[in-house]
Amino acid sequence: MAREFLEAGDPRLRLACEDPDAFFDHLERFEAGVDLPRNRVRQTWFWLYRGERMIGASRLRHRLIRFLQRDGGHIAYEIRPSERRKGYGTEILRLTLKEAAAIGVRRALLTTDPTNAASIGVIRNNGGTFGGNSVSLESGQLLNRYWIEIRADRG
Ligand SMILES: CC(C)(COP(=O)(O)OP(=O)(O)OC[C@H]1O[C@@H](n2cnc3c(N)ncnc32)[C@H](O)[C@@H]1OP(=O)(O)O)[C@@H](O)C(=O)NCCC(=O)NCCS
């Protein structure tokens, strides 16, 4: 899956291709919440599978800090290019919101590029309501913010 992202010109999983050990060390450090870079918090990765085939990934941040309130929010996700527009983006966010509920998040923040129609579709399909714009402290990019209320019994 990581190779497919790279071949499509998306470098987000480059480390997984080039140095899998370093990639899994990185994941474990984030899961444990130790030795994190500035502006990062404890984070859990989830993998979406259809049978044996890995379809996508999501990341759940365990708390919001000032940086994430502007850029990143609670949850990020991606679906491999060959499996897009089949509802998997909507599904991975639905499942990750259940995990968020399990760690006590009651109101999830998501941020996205205003031109990312696919991500906005995923958020709206999960009940996201527009919460205004922000400007990323890192990139200076304008972002849309959305809130999703999470019921404790979310199924
Ligand atoms: C965003 C992303 C996860 C969407 O995944 P997906 O599996 O294609 O999403 P879905 O199939 O659930 O589609 C969700 C909605 O967006 C719409 N949509 C999907 N791709 C679209 C596109 N390229 N342009 C316009 N609308 C699009 C779908 O039609 C659907 O709307 P509908 O339910 O009203 O028909 C995927 O495009 C991706 O991985 N992008 C790169 C990473 C990224 O941008 N992540 C989000 C920011 S953290």
Residue 151 has pLDDT above 90, yes or no: no
Q: Whose CA is nearest to atom 9 of ligand 1?
A: 89
Please say whether the beta carbons of 88 and 95 come within 8 A: no
Q: 79-131 pLDDT, tens per residue?
A: 999 999 999 999 999 999 999 999 999 999 999 999 999 999 999 999 999 99
Helix ranges, the chain (H): 2-7, 14-18, 20-32, 66-70, 88-102, 117-125
| Residue 66 domain flag | yes
| Residue 60 domain flag | yes
In short, whether 89's Cβ falls inside 6 Å of ligand 1 is yes
In the chain, the percentage of residues whose pLDDT exceeds 70 is: 97
Atom of ligand 1 minimally distant from the CA of 76: 48
| Residue 154 domain flag | no
Beta-sheet strands, E only, within 39-120:
43-50, 53-61, 75-79, 107-112
| Residue 101 domain flag | yes
* 17-21 CB contacts, 8 Å cutoff, 24+ apart: none
In short, whether 8's Cβ falls inside 6 Å of ligand 1 is no
| Cα distances (angstroms) measured from residue 126 to each of 97, 107, 123 | 9, 12, 5
Interval 25-52 mean pLDDT: 96
Number of domains making up the chain? 1
In short, whether 90's Cβ falls inside 6 Å of ligand 1 is yes
Interval 38-45 mean pLDDT: 96
Residue 155 has pLDDT above 70, yes or no: no
Beta bridge partners of 56: 48, 79
What CATH number does the domain containing 13 carry?
Answer: 3.40.630.30
Q: 133-146 pLDDT, tens per residue?
A: 999 988 999 999 99
| Residue 89 domain flag | yes
pLDDT band at 31 (very low <50, low <70, confident <90, very high): very high
| pLDDT the model gives residue 154 | 62
| Residue 9 domain flag | yes
Ligand 1 mutation target, pool 45, 46, 60, 84, most atoms within 8 A of CB: 84
In short, whether 117's Cβ falls inside 6 Å of ligand 1 is yes
Range of the domain at 73: 2-149
| Residue 32 domain flag | yes
Ligand 1 mutation target, pool 79, 125, 148, most atoms within 8 A of CB: 79
| Residue 155 domain flag | no
Cβ neighbours around 7 below 10 Å, total: 10
